[in-house]
Amino acid sequence: MKQVGLYFGTFNPIHIGHLAIANHMVEFSDLDEVWFVITPQSPFKTKQSLLDNHHRYQMVFEAVKDYPKLKPSKIEFNLPQPNYTIDTLVHLGEEYGKEHQFSLIMGEDNLKGFHKWKNYEAILELHNIYVYPRISKGQVEHRFANHPKIHWVEAPIMEISSTFIRKAHKEGKNIKPLLPESVWIYMDEMNFYR
Ligand SMILES: Nc1ncnc2c1ncn2[C@@H]1O[C@H](COP(=O)(O)OP(=O)(O)OP(=O)(O)O)[C@@H](O)[C@H]1O
Ligand SMILES: O=C(O)c1ccc[n+]([C@@H]2O[C@H](COP(=O)([O-])O)[C@@H](O)[C@H]2O)c1
């Protein structure tokens, strides 16, 4: 059984914070691969300034092409929106359940709101969650902090966001160091977020 960590996000665009976490997880946990699942429509987000799915996919593809253990995934592109993670996990289980065991990769900030996710109990029953530290307000619920299925991984903290990158780029600031070079080239050539 291959151990696959799923890193869900809008990746609008993917940045070095995302890449550093995925790489850290695959190098320092028992995961064999990490798949970036590009979400067409996150349940708690508006579609504001959201690039088309295939452009966000292409940027993830560019970011991971030199990392054999990291993969982009289009699995949610043909699933109903908004994209609830439980539905995607069921779908992945049907498609790859015999070869792969799926876990989730999640920031501490998302874990704080995890009790609001659709069928979160079912997710936890069937999957492990690898949590990395994030600077954020609020407390992780006690039942999650000590849950046997939740594994804490001391990954490095890089507090940048896609929102910051989009805004700064629009203002003409140089944000090149915050993106893998191939992502920067694609974004610039395509005139995104101007
Ligand atoms: N710098 C970072 N370090 C670690 N995790 C991050 C970082 N930025 C975002 N994440 C997390 O990675 C996942 C995917 O990121 P996503 O693209 O959805 O968010 P984002 O970068 O915060 O984007 P936006 O600013 O557009 O909301 C989310 O769970 C998000 O919380
Ligand atoms: O399934 C849910 O109820 C659910 C609720 C909120 C977020 N998610 C997933 O978590 C991912 C990161 O969420 P966000 O809002 O921090 O970008 C998002 O892409 C979704 O796949 C899932």
Q: Look at 36 and 48; give whichever has higher pLDDT.
A: 36
SS3 of 79, please? coil
Locate the ligand 2 atom nearest the alpha carbon of residue 110 and give its number: 16
DSSP per-residue codes, 117-140: STTHHHHHHH--EEEE----SS--
Closest CA to 86 of 53, 57, 124, 113: 124
Report the pLDDT value the prediction gives residue 45, as an integer from 0 to 100. 87
Q: What is the average pLDDT across 163-187?
A: 97
The arithmetic mean of pLDDT across residues 133-143, rounded, is 94
pTM confidence score = 0.97
pLDDT at 17 over 90: yes
User: What atom of ligand 2 comes closest to residue 86's alpha carbon?
Assistant: 1
Find out whether 166 and 193 touch, Cβ atoms under 8 Å: yes
Please give the distance of CA 42 from its chain centroid, rounded to a whole number: 11
SS3 (DSSP) at 92:
helix
pLDDT category at 47 given cuts 50, 70, 90 is confident
Q: What is the pLDDT of residue 48?
A: 73
Residue 46 has pLDDT above 90, yes or no: no
ipTM: 0.96
Nearest ligand 1 atom to the CA of 106 is 29
pLDDT for residue 121: 97
pLDDT band per the 50, 70, 90 thresholds, residue 175: very high
The pLDDT mean for the chain works out to 96
- Residue 143: partners with Cβ closer than 8 Å, 6 or more residues away: none
Q: Which of 70, 3, 8, 17 is nearest to 37 (CA)?
A: 8
Residue to probe by mutation, ligand 2, list 14, 18, 21, 44, most atoms within 8 Å of CB: 44
Using CA atoms, how far residue 27 sits from 10, 31, 192, in Å, is 23, 8, 32
Please report, for residues 97, 155, 166, the alpha-carbon distance to residue 135 in angstroms, rounded to integers and kept in the order given: 34, 12, 21
Q: How far apart are CA 92 and CA 101, in angstroms?
A: 10
Whether 43 shows a pLDDT value over 90: the answer reads yes
pLDDT of 8 reads: 98
Give ligand 2 pocket residues (Cβ under 6 A). 8-10, 39, 42-45, 83-86, 110, 117-118
Domains and CATH numbers, the chain: 2-161 (3.40.50.620)
Strand pairing class (100-107; 70-73): unpaired
The residue-averaged pLDDT of 153-171 equals: 96
Ligand 2 centre distance from Cα of residue 50 (Å): 15
